[in-house]
Amino acid sequence: MERGLLWLPLLVMFFWLAWQGSKEYQKVEAYRAWAEQFERAKYDIYSVLGQKGNNLTWGKPTPKGPIKLETFSLLDVKEICLLVDEKKVDLKNLPEKGRSIELEFLFSESPDSVRVPFTEIPLAGEWGKFLQGALESLRSQANQ
């Protein structure tokens, strides 16, 4: 009887881990279907982000699909900053670690900003560099 009682917590832990894995798999599959409409997309546990043309759409992943989706245009963006632990970071000199990692989009017409959370600094850095290049390309096209 006591052996059964010793194994019960392990059995409960196993089923809890299996349930969590199933939920995460459902999130990834829902993201995969959502991301097909975009030219470039990213998924992590904090957020999803997709780019189609000049528009960026981001939201929170759930097993039923992304929620709280927001879309904005790169044409409206004044500046893109990488924030690590609430401090601006140079995209060419990324820190090794940080707790809070976000790409911040500052708009020219609005005092509001959009902050897209990331789990990894290198991933946020790559997205920041890519979007910074796309923003500079749009500006140079507008000036011609």
Q: Domain limits of the chain?
A: 6-143
d(CA 52, CA 54): 6
Express each pLDDT in 18-65 by its tens digit.
999 999 899 889 889 999 999 999 998 889 999 998 899 999 998 888
Show the CA angle centred on residue 35, arms to residues 94 and 98, nearest 5°.
20
Residue 7's pLDDT is what? 84
Q: Helices (DSSP H) in the chain: which residue ranges?
A: 2-35, 121-143
d(CA 107, CA 97): 28
Domain 6-143 CATH class label? mainly beta
Residue 36's pLDDT is what? 92
